[in-house]
């Protein structure tokens, strides 16, 4: 039942809206999204939208997960940082595409649950940490790519620093309550290329202490 729903999701929500990267489509076609949502919502896991996962947070819409993942043009040997682990779903999608995933989540119980779910499902190349994403993960830096799934007012400086030269970052930027844009950044010698690619709505990136 879930397999058929997942195949439909890939066709009707991703391919039909222009997601083309075969590796990205295969990754979303494989990750059991129903395992990352509350039991009571499992039947809705493959619907075309975000779903609540507790603690006021949500698992992102499949299309947005696919769009952000595709924009990073990931290679199998890459090491990727995710900020905002949430359910762990996006981390699981990344895990199928790259060598190593590092994911930070501010809300401790969410971090612990995602870590346990990822382990249970066999995603051995994902490390989850409870902490403040504004600081990044300096011990594991630099990263080939960074994916942020909560919205800061501005691109956090520490994350730019922890990106490799030539590396890409995708991050929803916008003040609280204001419209947000997904910004795609590319770190070049001496400058940061910056492009707005999609209007979006993410939960705010909360300042830790
Ligand atoms: N990628 C997730 C969706 C996450 S929703 C998934 O696939 O399910 C955004 C998450 O960012 C929330 O869980 C929220 O708690 C977290 N978050 C908010 N501010 C943060 C911060 N400063 N550092 C790390 N995580 C943060």
Domain encompassing residue 94: 50-200
Tell me the per-residue pLDDT of 73-113, one tens digit each, with 9 for 90 and over. 999 999 999 999 999 999 999 999 999 999 999 999 999 99
| CATH assignment at residue 95 | 3.40.50.150
In whole angstroms, what is the distance from residue 145 CA to residue 143 CA?
A: 5
Distance (angstroms) between ligand 1 centre and the Cα of 106 equals: 7
Question: What pTM value is reported for the model?
Answer: 0.97
Tell me the backbone φ, ψ of residue 151, rounded to 5 degrees. Answer: -100, 115
Instruction: Flag whether 127 is in a domain.
Output: yes
Catalytic residue among 60, 87, 103, 175: 60
Instruction: Flag whether 104 is in a domain.
Output: yes
Ligand 1: atom nearest CA of 110 is: 13
Number of domains forming the structure of the chain: 1
Residue 175 designated active-site: no
In whole angstroms, what is the distance from residue 94 CA to residue 104 CA?
A: 14
Ligand 1: atom nearest CA of 59 is: 8
Instruction: Flag whether 206 is in a domain.
Output: no
- Splitting the chain (209 residues) into consecutive groups of 10 residues, what average pLDDT does each group show? 96 98 98 98 97 96 98 98 98 98 98 98 98 98 98 97 98 91 97 96 88
């Amino acid at each position: 039942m879930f397999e058929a729903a997942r195949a439909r999701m890939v066709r009707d929500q991703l391919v039909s809206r222009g997601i083309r990267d075969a590796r990205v489509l295969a990754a979303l076609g494989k990750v059991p999204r129903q395992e990352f949502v509350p039991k009571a919502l499992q039947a809705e896991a493959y619907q075309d939208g975000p779903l609540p996962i507790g603690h006021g947070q949500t698992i992102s819409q499949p299309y947005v997960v696919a769009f952000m993942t595709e924009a990073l043009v990931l290679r199998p040997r890459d090491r990727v940082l995710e900020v905002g682990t949430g359910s762990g779903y996006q981390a699981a999608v990344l895990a199928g595409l790259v060598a190593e995933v590092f994911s930070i989540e501010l809300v401790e119980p969410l971090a612990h649950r995602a870590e346990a779910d990822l382990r249970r499902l066999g995603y051995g190349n994902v490390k989850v940490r409870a902490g403040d994403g504004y600081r990044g993960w300096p011990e594991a830096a630099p990263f080939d790519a960074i994916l942020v799934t909560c919205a800061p007012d501005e691109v956090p400086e520490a994350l730019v620093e922890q990106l490799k030269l030539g590396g890409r970052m995708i991050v929803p930027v916008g003040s609280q309550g204001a419209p947000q844009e997904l910004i795609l950044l590319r770190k070049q010698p001496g400058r940061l290329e910056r492009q707005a690619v999609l209007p979006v709505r993410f939960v705010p990136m909360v300042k830790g202490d």
